């Protein structure tokens, strides 16, 4: 017989915790008398079980001790008394089983809560995204379809020949919208800044970051403008444009 494989089969745990069948118990007891290492393994498991129960013991509520003693006395009248070691083992097994059940219960409840929270976050994120997309589409329809809106095509400069954007400017309401077509992303300490050129004097229309194509950005209003320009400035914008970093420029009908 391979004693090591027999021990690793879990028979010791089943026997000590009362889960083994009568034939398994009989065989185990017979083999314990035959193999001292099997008996030693059983003793070590019982000691570990008792130690675990002692370390995780929780003081019972008031009155429980009396009820337990009454139940024991009642049980003693019905069946032979168990040995102190057997009672300690049964108590230890009960504690281990209770801790295991509590752990599985709270773990399952936490996993279900995490799944519910994740689903709620995904649903809220999806609703927010849909709302933003609808707003963008509605704004594009209103801006592009407005007969009072002038489209200013902004082309790249020698510094940035590939940069391009469109300004949708409603001179009646002074509203200015910007559609970025090709603007590389900048370092985190820099931003693009839109300017209206009025009589060769720049007017700040706000800063923005590089965005996906066809996203309309609402900028600051201006009643007049002979041209629009985009420069690269420090994050937060500048009171005057850095002409050496002009990216795009587009003239309006007022300049003609």
pLDDT of 102-133, one tens digit each? 555 556 666 666 667 766 776 665 566 556 55
Looking at residues 81-96, what average pLDDT do you find? 53
Instruction: Give the span between the Cα atoms of 190 and 184, in whole angstroms.
Output: 12
- 194 φ, ψ (degrees, to nearest 5): -95, 140
Q: Who has greater pLDDT, 95 or 115? A: 115
Q: What's the maximum distance between 2 C-alpha atoms anywhere in the chain? A: 113
Question: What percentage of residues in the chain have a pLDDT greater than 90?
Answer: 30
Instruction: Using the predicted structure, report yes or no on whether residue 225 has a pLDDT greater than 90.
Output: yes
187-196, 203-212, 226-235: segment of lowest average pLDDT: 203-212
Q: What is the pLDDT of residue 42?
A: 86
Residue 242: which pLDDT band, with cuts at 50, 70 and 90?
A: very high
Rounded distance between C-alpha atoms, residue 226 and residue 251, angstroms: 6
Residue 121, pLDDT score? 72
- Quote the CA–CA distance of 59 and 54 in Å, as a whole number: 11
Note the pLDDT of residue 195. Answer: 97
pLDDT band at 47 (very low <50, low <70, confident <90, very high): confident
**pLDDT value at residue 119:** 67
Give the phi and the psi of residue 145 in degrees, each rounded to 5.
-85, 0
**So what's the pLDDT on residue 97?**
58
């Amino acid at each position: 017989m391979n004693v090591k494989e027999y021990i690793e089969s879990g028979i010791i745990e089943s026997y000590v915790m009362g889960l083994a069948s009568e034939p398994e118990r009989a065989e185990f007891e017979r083999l314990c008398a035959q193999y001292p290492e099997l008996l030693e393994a059983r003793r070590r498991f019982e000691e570990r079980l008792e130690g675990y129960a002692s370390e995780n013991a929780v003081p019972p509520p008031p009155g429980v001790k009396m009820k337990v003693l009454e139940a024991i006395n009642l049980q003693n009248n019905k069946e032979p008394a168990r040995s102190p070691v057997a009672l300690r083992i049964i108590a230890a097994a009960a504690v281990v089983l209770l801790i295991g059940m509590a752990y599985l219960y709270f773990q399952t409840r936490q996993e279900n809560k995490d799944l519910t929270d994740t689903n709620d976050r995904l649903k809220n994120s999806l609703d927010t995204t849909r709302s933003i997309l609808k707003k963008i589409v509605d704004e594009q329809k209103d801006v592009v379809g407005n007969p009072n809106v002038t489209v200013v095509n902004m082309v790249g400069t020698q510094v940035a020949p590939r940069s391009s954007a469109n300004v949708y400017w409603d001179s009646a309401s002074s509203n200015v919208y910007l559609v970025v077509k090709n603007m590389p992303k900048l370092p985190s300490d820099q931003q693009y800044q839109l300017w209206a050129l009025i009589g060769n004097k720049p007017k700040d229309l706000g800063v923005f970051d590089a965005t996906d194509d066809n996203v309309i950005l609402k900028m600051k209003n201006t009643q007049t403008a002979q041209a629009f320009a985009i420069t690269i400035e420090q994050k937060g914008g500048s009171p005057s444009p850095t002409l050496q970093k002009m990216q795009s420029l587009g003239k309006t009908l007022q300049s003609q």
